Amino acid sequence: MKQSAAGSLAVLALGSNLPSRPRWLDVARAAIEGAGIEVLATTPRWNTVPIGTVSQPDYLNQLLLVAGRRRGAEWLELVRAVEARAGRRRGLPKGPRTLDLDIILIQDESWATAELQVPHPGLLNRPYLLRGSALLVPDWIHPEEGLSMTELAWRGLTGCWALGDPAVGSSG
Ligand code: AMP
């Protein structure tokens, strides 16, 4: 992985499902960099089907590996500022939005407060978050699961996490 002298590393997820989706993702990246955060690596942009009960357009999603001199809730300040820069407008909760920015992982940090949950709880059940995290930070260990991002993505694909899993091939 590319290293940086610019502080701690984090994985951020961008999502947009209002026109123009690519432009909102570009605006978000520019706002992140404008806040002094270094973008070290990016995933491809993926089209994803929305989850939940609200009928809405597909999302365009992308994950970024970033570095910045921030810890914990200081990353949330960035999230709020960038969403505001993207003119975030939302009606329904979990409904369509110009930009959603989530903190998926922060290296060596784990948070479970009302304000901030890291790793992001959606990581384990949204395939693009697992796939993107496995691409960007394959060796990072999920603090609750005790598995690397590669292992978690593998588990998501196969239902088991290693060839030696005792459940494989067992009948009980
Ligand atoms: P959302 O509606 O998905 O944009 O969620 C917004 C709220 O989620 C914010 O007010 C945050 O305080 C809270 N939140 C908790 N954990 C996270 C996280 N890992 N990334 C972004 N927002 C978070």
- Taking only the tens place, the pLDDT of each residue in 112-152 is 999 999 999 999 999 999 999 999 999 999 999 999 999 99
14 forms bridges with which residues in the sheet?
A: 62, 101
Confidence band, pLDDT 50/70/90 cuts, at residue 6? low
* CA of residue 115 to ligand 1 center, whole Å: 7
Q: How far apart are CA 60 and CA 49, in angstroms?
A: 9
Q: Which two tokens stand for residue 38?
A: 């270094």
Contact 106 CB / ligand 1 (< 6 Å): no
Give the model's pLDDT for residue 167.
57
The pLDDT assigned to 54 comes to 84
| 134 found inside a domain | no
The answer to whether the Cα torsion of 50, 54, 55, 57 is positive or negative is: negative
Whether residue 47 lies inside any domain: the answer is yes
Q: Could you tell me if residue 25 is inside a domain?
A: yes
Residue 144 counted as domain residue = no
pTM here is 0.90
Structural domain includes residue 15: yes
The verdict on the CB of residue 100 being under 6 Å from ligand 1 is yes
DSSP 139: T
